[in-house]
């Protein structure tokens, strides 16, 4: 037996309650998976139906990233629960494969429903870049004409050109992922917990046995 298994067998009441809790937890796995898939598909559909995409006002575009990140965190919670309640599963090939796949499911459930909006944001950014590029080209030509013909108004054209260049730089900095910068960092930090737990458990097993 591993360390946690030996502890549970030494206390039959705790072991029995843990079994009952595990049964209740996993009995909801099927309905939870079905509802999760429906929820993520609904997020994807709503993103495709969005009419107005405003890169300069990204907060509404970030609305569903909290939902998908919570779904990803739920996979992390399942992995952590499995490690705590049944460490023996980590000693089998099937158990290790399942545990290793859960982080992939966590990231997939977070990113894939938002991929459609990411593509739309990319297209909107490309459109804005093309528009400002066209205006820069026209304004540059006008500036050259004023200089070549030694006409008044070159300074005004220069100021317009500088404003357009600043606008282009601003557009270049706009993000095309529909989430706040801290959201993926939060999910990655959550993934560290079961990995650290697994490492501590292995160290304790080696120290005791």
Q: Rounded CA gap, 56 and 132, in Å?
A: 15
Least confident range from 1-10, 23-32, 146-155: namely 1-10
- Give DSSP secondary structure letters for 163-176: HHHHHHHHHHH---
Q: What is the model's pLDDT at position 90?
A: 62
74-119 pLDDT, tens digit each: 888 777 777 666 666 666 666 667 677 778 888 889 999 999 999 9
Is the Cα torsion angle 185, 186, 191, 193 positive or negative in sign? positive
63-76 pLDDT, tens digit each: 899 899 988 888 88
pTM over 0.85? The answer is no
Q: What is the model's pLDDT at position 20?
A: 59
Contacts made by residues 196-199, CB under 8 angstroms, sequence distance 24+:
197/80, 197/83, 197/84, 198/83, 198/90
168-188 pLDDT, tens digit each: 999 999 999 999 888 888 888
């Amino acid at each position: 037996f591993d360390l946690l298994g030996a502890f549970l067998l030494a206390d039959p009441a705790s072991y029995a309650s843990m079994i009952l809790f595990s049964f209740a937890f996993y009995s909801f796995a099927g309905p939870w998976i079905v509802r999760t898939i429906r929820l993520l598909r609904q997020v994807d559909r709503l993103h495709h139906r969005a009419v107005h995409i405003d890169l300069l006002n990204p907060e509404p575009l970030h609305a569903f990233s909290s939902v998908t990140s919570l779904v990803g965190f739920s996979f992390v919670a399942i992995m952590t629960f499995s490690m705590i309640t049944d460490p023996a599963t980590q000693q089998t090939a099937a158990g290790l494969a399942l545990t290793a796949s859960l982080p992939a499911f966590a990231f997939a459930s977070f990113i894939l429903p938002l991929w459609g909006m990411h593509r739309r944001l990319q297209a909107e950014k490309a459109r804005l870049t093309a528009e400002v590029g066209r205006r820069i080209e026209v304004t540059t030509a006008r500036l050259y004409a004023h200089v070549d013909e030694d006409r008044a108004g070159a300074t005004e054209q220069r100021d317009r050109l500088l404003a357009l260049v600043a606008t282009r730089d601003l557009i270049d900095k706009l993000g095309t992922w529909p989430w706040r910068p801290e959201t993926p960092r939060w999910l990655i930090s959550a993934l560290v917990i079961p990995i650290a737990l697994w490492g501590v458990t292995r160290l304790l097993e080696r120290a005791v046995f």
